[in-house]
Structure 1
Amino acid sequence: MIVMALEKSAPHMDRATKQAGTKAIAASAFRMGWRHVPIPQARKISSADKRLRRIVPDDPASISGLPLGGIGTGGVGWSPDGRFNRWSLGSRVVQHFSEPACGFAIRSQQPGRAPIASALQPPPQRVGQLAAFHFADDQMPGDYAALFPKIWRSFILPDMGLRLSCEAFSPVVAGDLDSASLPLALFRWQIENISDAPRDVALLGHWANMLGRFQTHEDRRSGGNSAGRSNRAYDDGDHFGVLFESAALDDPIAPGHGQWALLTRCDPSLRLGRVVMFDGLGDGADLWNDFLTTGRIGPDDRQWLADCGFSTDETGLPTAAISAGCNLAPGAQCQIDMALVWDQPAMCYALGDRHWRAYSDQWGRAGKAAAAIGAYGLKHQVCWSSAIDDWHGQIEQTLGPAPHQAGFALNELYLLVDGATHHATADRIPDDETGDKGGGKHFGLLECPDYPYYNTLDLYGYAGPALAACFPGLDHRVIEDYAATVALDDPRMRKAMNSDARFRIKKSGFLPHDMGAPGEAPFRILNGYALADSTRWKDLNSQFVLAVWRVGLRADDDFLRAQFPAVAMAIDHLAVFDRDGDGLIEHEGFPDQTFDNLPMLGPGSYCGGLWLAALSAGVRIAAIAGEKAREAHWAGLLEKGRAAFECLLWTGSHYRLDRDGPYRDALFLEQLFGPFLARKYGLGDIVPVDHARTALMHLYQHNFIEAGDGIGPVLLSGLPVEDKTGDHGDPDVQRHEVITGIAMSFAAQCRTYGLITHADHLRRTLYETLYTQRHLCFRTPAAFEPSRPVYRAAFNLRPLAIWLDTP
């Protein structure tokens, strides 16, 4: 688990967890203590270059929480201070707003005394919203811990005489993809009477009808447009709660519509109450007064259909609540379980391409399965929780129990939920009508919202091992998708983003930069990236070949034989850039690789190393495929290339970035990525081990300790002072940044070459910088600067490279 502390966590959290009958929170969990403070007004983005969204980090009060949700279902972020304030339920964006109508509240009464109740989140910013509620203040401190996919919250409430704790999770369990794909969040609340008098206690769960709220044409009023939404009671004898619905047409169901549910178990030891509909933008007086005075709400199962209102005025926000209460003797405790479900099976991209979410194969596509999913979740809650704990234990045994070890790796998996994740079934518009060669069954992770491309290949080479470790079938699917694109040709032209240059979308034999953008038609129109002509990039084909080999290590030889034609085409087309026949490909003087702000010329260590690693993989794959001629030819290229790599790029202390470019004398952090992957994937050593260790120690000192101030290793050090321009218009982009995933890769390289102490220190420092000091947990950026409190491109794919640092 990962630990992040803004103030020292109180020891009662683990104690309360043990007393509740569940496992103690692992040492590797991310933790923080907090107090409710007034939420500041939304800040303007402060940016050196607004196109790149270089953002001043928020204060600790607005820190992001771990998202709840399944893979491909979208997520709901539950912040440490109790707000539900981040939503990735649409198919294109992550939205940041707090919805006070969604949350929990606690109530306690001692005989003969006035009752006390409090919502477990700060007050709303909107004047008058839920004004009758008593919201938490700075006298109600709490503790928060998270270890993907679990959240723990804990409170000591002296005025109420209670200890309150909650374990919340979605069933994202490694190896169980069906469970991991459910649109479901489970909450187990434990209430303990720690006073010496009996207590009448109750828990309130309330939720707004969010259907249709995450469509791209959403109404911009603060509550959204609730027109056509309505809630209704649900009881099946075993479960009690509310269904959230709308009057939208459902043949077929529209994206963003379907059914939500908030359910609890029917338990004779608990008194249950329900209000099916109240206005979540109103003052909530009737509901709160019942809850405060009696510890039970309703019964009120009356319904109404929300109207659209005037365009200048707010319409009502249909909100529902359920309560559960009991009497507790001193020292006694009770347990209350709740399930939140969002069954929204359809998703749609900007050009109209429609897909069904993967869970709909089992649960149907009518958008009416929320209650059934919720009941299934409550039935399996205990076994899933145990399975997650076992998985956490396995990772802690492998990586170590400290927060920067297992916790760092596990918590970076938040992106599987919050990465605008595409996880679709095979059933959609036929291939011959769409040009979609994958039959509709795709998996995709967005590079990030600022750079919105699916499965960006130059980043996926870093992120793929995380999927391979947890859900290898998804990694397999991504690579098969890419293999199907190798021979494709798309002669349509794109215009470069920053110039009048034109280039083809896709050339046969060259891998695409990405599988498309949600702003177009992902998996049908490839290469959404248009900053430059990626068909001339020198790293994509090599990354693909290495990924095929990585998947093949878990699959059988039949997989590698099947992929040989794509591998051969990728290698042979990249080989044309070896213009002098020395076995190394050459750069062409522009940014033709993942560092798209760094021009390179001649042979270079990054793409050259990847090329040699790809040749090593190609030789193995050709041998398995029985392609003796190709095996021999590629083996010859590999031997020549290795010799040229040493002769042209080794300086005695490190490998040059390139031979002829403007940054050839700079110290380039990622110079050994290709040789590292070859070693990690069992392909042998491309460079002498003593050279690799010497280079890594040199980079550790100069790029991390000196240029990075011991905060993080910068991509380049030793740059001339006169380096003042960049292809993005900002000289600091990439050149002077700590590129988060690259820094994680560097730590993994140190470990792989035996520099264990260096690797652990790097990992610990990155964890402390990102989680503890800069409050960037669960929104890990592409890059940050060590000298200024700014970052770039949050929710980035490449930091899943933390999983490269695993055996």
Structure 2
Amino acid sequence: MGGIGGGSVTRGWRGEFCRWQLFPGMYTYNTVIADQFTVCLRRAGQTVYQQVLSVETPNTLQAWKWALPGHCAFYHALYPRAWHVYELPGQNITLTCRQVSPIIPHDYQESCLPAVVFAWEVDNRSDEDTEVTIMFTLANGTGGQGNSDDGHWNESFIVPESKKNELQVSGVLLHHSHAVNPYSIAIASRCQAGLTVTHRTEFDPQGTGRDLWEDLVEDGRLNCTDGSGVKTKGHEEVAGAVACTAMVPAGGSAQLEFSLTWDMPRIRFGAQGQDYYRRYTRWFGSNGTAAPELARHALTHYKEWEDRIDNWQRPILEDLSLPSWYKSALFNELYFLADGGTVWLDIPEGMGHDLPNILHEYGHFAYLEGQEYRMYNTYDVHFYASFALIMLWPKLQLSLQYEIAATIMQEDDNQRVHLMDGSRGSVKTRNVVPHDVGDPEDEPWLRVNAYLIHNTASWRDLNIKFVLQVFRDYQATGDFDYLQYMWPICQKVMNYHLRYDSDGDGLIENSGCADQTYDGWPVKGPSAYCGGLFIASLCVMCKIAEMIGSTDVYDKYHDILTRGKEAYDRLLFNGQYYKYDSSAKHYSNSVMADQCAGQWYLRACGLGSGTDEVFPGEHVRSALQTVYELNVKGFADGKMGAVNGMLPNGEVDMSSVQSFEVWVGVVYALAATMIQEGMVEAGFHTAEGTYRTVWERLGMSFQTPEAYCERGIFRSLAYMRPLSIWSMQWALERREGQRGWSAESTPPLK
């Protein structure tokens, strides 16, 4: 829940508030029992039914009626919306809670707001008029990090109608006195004719809850209190409640609306040095009093949000040629853009005088590699995930790229030990793309490369992934100024990278270590993955040089490309596929699922076919067909996506921890590559196996991992790379002519 970069709150499929990321990049995985919705029904002046809309049976708030039968409730999700539907037992009343967050493509104002709306539809199918009250209760805090601070307190508020036709709202404001990053949370409801909004400013979320429960039972309303103003001490907790009441006629319906907003305007990261302000403060101020105004804004405008979300999603949802599972995956995987520890911040005053204007306009944007891998903007992984940004919020992708470009020219000679081999090396080397822009527990952007396992200064994929993204971004935006700005930086990173072609054949060699995004899978000599990406980057360098008019640079890279293409095919293509590497080790002939990554990006850049063909088309299709037969259909009965490595005899490559894994984001990229090459049914079958494994069999919805293996063991929950599913949509939208296929032509996986 919430927009991009202002913190996030997760509400689970059973309606529980269970995951919190208000402090930048740091998570509390904790269900706060007091955070609930409760319904009260009254007929003929008597309360006939009152129930917490939860299946829980907690040890606190025992005076409340818990344990709603699970079969009475249903959950649906299509991000950024979700629906909880409740059939109230014996009441002939259906409640539908529609949860709406302001995630709106190409909108850089609404999309950053820390707000969510709960629109409750009440359908009264009984033959009696029924007074219906929904009560929203919330504890002050997240039940975990930061709750030991003293000084929390609550107060009621009313925000009147504005001259901009914004509605009147009423609610409770919960002040949280965190020592470094103080914040407030507001729960509120819309005030209008026919509705009654009441509140209780304070109750004890660790007590029995009897006073609040009986208050609601008495007349379906809360006895409004203004709060004692007494601040909590030690581990004391305090909660508040807002109730909205409507009379719903027999056979009729009504809508009750609530909002949840939060305001942590100024943040410091773990090092507690530099102050930053979140992007939404441009419109709602930075003095820490914005939560009520955010509540009014959200309740006033959420229907506009929904209209825009509908207009965005409808063409895909109504496309009968696309399978339903794909539509679910495409939109629901976007959760990570908001819930990836994401921060969207203004550049502090006095910093970045020499930065491009786009950075001052759109600020710092960063998201974690994963909720368990706390590194911002991990670049080798963002290479896959970036399709979601460039398609939906392209200015954020360009902003991120400009910041990466700025770090490329920096160096940090401080020495540190790398965990894998004990070697020592500099934190940052000039003319090398950083692995990441920092750790939220340190100082992101100011201290980059939080990754400590290997020395990434010698990684073979980072620099060339920068070049490929630059041209892909230009193709998406048509921003020639961006291309010109990046051109000298592309030359610097490519010139640095040429040192890895030790024999001058136009093809780089890997070191024998795990020196690329597969950082647990050693590779030596020319390799399918890094070699292919390098060849693709040479092609892009030639194309940009041609556009810029850099004849000398074009000649230089065209010569390398000519030699490199020949070496790549000669050393790695064995007549069926591109071998993992040319080292002649026992795993050298492994069939790598990601072997055509270079062709994938070339096609995404509008190159790689026709007169721009770099990899022979018949070789690419043969390689993809081999991957499909062995890594997909030959693995787990073809129902779990593509395993990273498969030996040509049909056995899974067990040479490393990563060769026998399935990487969700790589599978989606592979599927996109297949679609680009006309293997549409194979591409969708490949991706479907991964989707059904993660979202259905393993139950990892909204926490898609980086990897899993055939036994169902997974690694790194809630990961960035699966956003690469948007590269499938990129491929579909750029296919020439009609798709010429139907979802029904591919049998569903059983």
What is the TM-score of this pair, normalised by structure 1?
0.85
Alignment partner of 1:679 is 2:603 = yes
1:252-267 alignment runs, 5 A limit:
255-267=180-192
Q: CA deviation at 1:151?
A: 0.8
CA distance in 1, matches of 2:635, 2:305: 46
Name the residue aligned to 1:285: 210
Question: Would you say 1:427 and 2:348 are equivalent positions?
Answer: yes
Distance 1:433 1:475, change over 3 A: closer
Q: Residue 484 of structure 1 aligns to a residue in which SS?
A: helix
Amino acid at match of 1:712: G
| 1:280 CA displacement | 1.2
Give 1:238-257 correspondences, 5 Å limit. Answer: 238-246=168-176, 255-257=180-182
> Does the Cα contact within 8 Å between 2:2 and 2:114 map onto a contact in 1?
yes
- What is the distance in 1 between the residues matched to 2:474 and 2:374? 29
Residues in 1 aligned to 2:201 and 2:252: alpha-carbon distance in whole angstroms: 31
1:707 aligns with 2:635: yes
1:105 counterpart SS class: strand
Q: How does 1:117-516 map to 2 (within 5 A)?
A: 117-123=50-56, 125=58, 127=59, 129-138=60-69, 141-210=72-141, 218=146, 224-225=147-148, 227-237=150-160, 238-246=168-176, 255-309=180-234, 314-315=235-236, 317-352=237-272, 353-396=274-317, 401-428=322-349, 430=351, 441-516=363-438
Aligned equivalents of 1:713 and 1:723: distance in 2?
11
Aligned residue pairs: how many? 712
| 2:551 is equivalent to residue 620 of structure 1 | no
Question: Take 1:796 and 1:501, find their aligned partners in 2: how far apart are those partners?
Answer: 28
Paired residue secondary structure (1:485): helix
Aligned to 2:703: 779
- Tell me the residue number matched to 1:763: 687
Moved more, 646-655 or 764-773: 764-773
Match of 2:737 in 1: none
Give the corresponding residue for 1:31.
Answer: none
Residue deviations 1:296-327, cap 9 Å, x none? 11122232423324xxxx52x21111111122
Aligned to 2:740: none
By how many angstroms is 1:431 displaced? 5.3
5 Å matches for 1:37-76?
A: 68-76=1-9
Residues 101/429 of structure 1: CA separation in 2 closer, same or farther (3 Å cut): farther
Q: What is the Cα deviation at residue 246 of structure 1? A: 4.5
- The 3 A distance-change label for structure 1 pair 429 and 528 is farther
- What are the superposed Cα offsets for residues 261-314 of structure 1, whole Å, 9 maximum, x if unpaired? 1111112201222111111111111111121231111122232423324xxxx5
Verify the 8 A CA contact 1:90 1:214 in the aligned structure 2: no
For residues 85-124 of structure 1, the aligned pairs below 5 Å read 85-111=18-44, 115-123=48-56
Residues 511-539 of structure 1: CA distance to partner in whole angstroms, max 9, x if unpaired? 11111122321111111111111111111
What displacement does 1:720 show? 9.5
1:724 is displaced (CA, Å) by 10
Cα distance, 1:258 vs structure 2:
2.9
Inter-CA distance 433–347: structure 2 relative to 1 (3 Å threshold): farther
Change (3 A) 1:789 1:757: same
Instruction: Give the superposition deviation at 1:613.
Output: 0.9
1:141 counterpart letter in structure 2:
C
Residue in structure 1 matching 2:665, options 723, 737, 741:
741
Distance 2:648 2:407 in 1: 39
**1:227, 1:305 within 8 Å by CA — same for their partners in 2?**
no
Distance in 2 separating the partners of 1:196 and 1:387: 37
| Residue aligning to 1:9 | none
- With 755-764 and 412-421 compared, the bigger mean Cα shift is at 755-764
Q: Distance in 1 between matches of 2:376 and 2:316?
A: 28
Residues of 1 paired with 2:653 and 2:177: CA distance?
A: 58
Instruction: Quote the offset at 1:623 in angstroms.
Output: 2.2
d(CA) in 1 for partners of 2:16, 2:218: 25
Greater shift in the superposed pair: 464-473 or 658-667: 658-667
Q: Secondary structure at the match of 1:653?
A: coil
What is the aligned-residue identity percentage? 29
Question: Is the contact between residue 262 and residue 341 of structure 1 (CA under 8 Å) also seen in structure 2?
Answer: yes
After superposition, the CA RMSD in angstroms is 2.3
Check 1:563–1:300 CA distance in 2 against 1; reply closer, same or farther (3 A cut). Answer: same
Structure 2: which 5+ runs fail to align? 161-167, 734-750
1:736 Cα offset (Å): 0.6
Amino acid at match of 2:82: I
Report the 3-state secondary structure (helix = DSSP H, G, I; strand = E; otherwise coil) of the residue aligned with 1:635.
helix
Task: Tell me the distance in 1 between the aligned counterparts of 2:441 and 2:246.
Answer: 51
Give 3-state SS (helix, strand or coil) of 2:155's partner. strand
Structure scoring higher RCO (CA < 8 A, sep ≥ 6) equals 1
* Aligned equivalents of 2:467, 2:24: Cα separation in 1: 30
1:790 matches 2:713: yes
The one-letter amino acid of 2:677's match is: Y
1:443 is paired with a residue whose SS is: strand
Alpha-carbon distance in 1 for matches of 2:177, 2:570: 71
| Shift, 1:767, TM fit | 1.6
Verify the 8 A CA contact 1:486 1:511 in the aligned structure 2: yes
Matched to 1:522, the amino acid is P
